[in-house]
Structure 1
């Protein structure tokens, strides 16, 4: 049954995704960023519908997101949370690998939406570009989502944080909202078959701005790995 559910999800979600991209691209020429964000709103909510009705996967949120601007530091175990956090936080700016923003068609929409690409090999110049984009997002009142471990990991893995987190934390002077999650149990990395169940997204205690780097990184690392 899990295999059948996964086949249906892949066939329906990715086919509709292609159609949405083809419709959304002309919309961004007319309405620009507003058009891209409307498309993201529809797409991520369609993903949630597919997850619930085709895969049997639902989300349980523990805790509450505080009001006001914040740097949201989340665990990353599956594509699932990148979509769910857009729904939950309402058009956040997400820090992502530059390679994703270079993808044909989808990458153009991602840039129009206001995602923040990061070039890990680009040195100081790439870091400055990331910081400028993040500052613009903060000025627009958008929360910023970063996956500080830098990549998807299996449940139980807890690699050290990448330096990009410390750079954003120091430059933006925002409190950090840490997010622990366990999506990898149901959507294991590198496997086609997904399993029904409930993904827990746990909102940890807010970490204040202005802490020393090592203290902030230790607090974030512990909080995002609270669910293993």
Structure 2
């Protein structure tokens, strides 16, 4: 059953994604509103497929505040990378530059508003990242970052990447940490499982803390649900 569900999900999700991508390109001359509407429709499609095709349910503990926050999310699967567009208010997402450079899809992400990160680039790329992040705050959009830097296997607790502390210091925003255990049902590989994904919104962390303190608090909060798979 898990294999059948996974095949059906992919047969629906990827063509649906292509339709939404070309829809964004078509409405781009009309401004940011229509672009954001189509991207959010894509995220809702993904959520619907997870629930009704994959048999995955979602449970939330806590609620996200409105306004410009730095939202730090545990990253175990593709699920939260897309679902953040649904549960946050028009967020700007920090992502790998490779994703923003994918033909068509990359253009869509940039039209919506993302902050591409090139880990191997120097000061110029860092300044560009900070400029985009500042613009997000001006627009009162939350900034979502996966502070461990990339998707990690269930049970892994790597240290935070340096870019998180730099963004935190430069933006001067409170941090909302979110723990997630999506790796339980959405591991690497083709076949996924049904089940429940839990999200836990941690205590808001104020701006202005020393790097060691904010990193320790964020690391603990985003790994609050991080228990080995049984």
Under a length normalisation based on structure 2, what TM-score does the superposition of the two structures give? Answer: 0.96
Partner of 1:166: 165
Equivalent-residue separation in structure 1 for 2:89 and 2:53 (angstroms): 23
Equivalences for 1:42-191 in 2 at 5 Å?
42-189=41-188, 191=189
Note if contact 1:72-1:144 (Cα within 8 Å) is conserved in structure 2. Answer: yes
Deviation at 1:150, TM superposition (A): 0.3
What is the number of residues matched between the two proteins? 226
* Partners of 1:17 and 1:84 in 2: CA distance: 14
Per-residue deviation, residues 158-209 of structure 1 (Å, max 9, x unmatched): 00100100010000001100010000000002x1111111100100001110
User: 4+ residue runs of structure 1 moved beyond 3 angstroms?
Assistant: none
Q: Cα RMSD between the aligned structures?
A: 1.0
CA contact (8 A) 1:71 1:174 kept: yes
SS at match of 1:226: coil
What is the rounded CA distance, in whole Å, between the counterparts of 1:166 and 1:141 in structure 2? 20
Aligned residue number for residue 192 of structure 1: 190
1:122 Cα offset (Å): 1.0
Give the unaligned 5+ runs of structure 1. none
User: What TM-score do you get using the length of structure 1 for normalisation?
Assistant: 0.97
User: Are positions 1:207 and 2:205 aligned together?
Assistant: yes
| Structure 2 residue ranges without an equivalent (≥5) | none
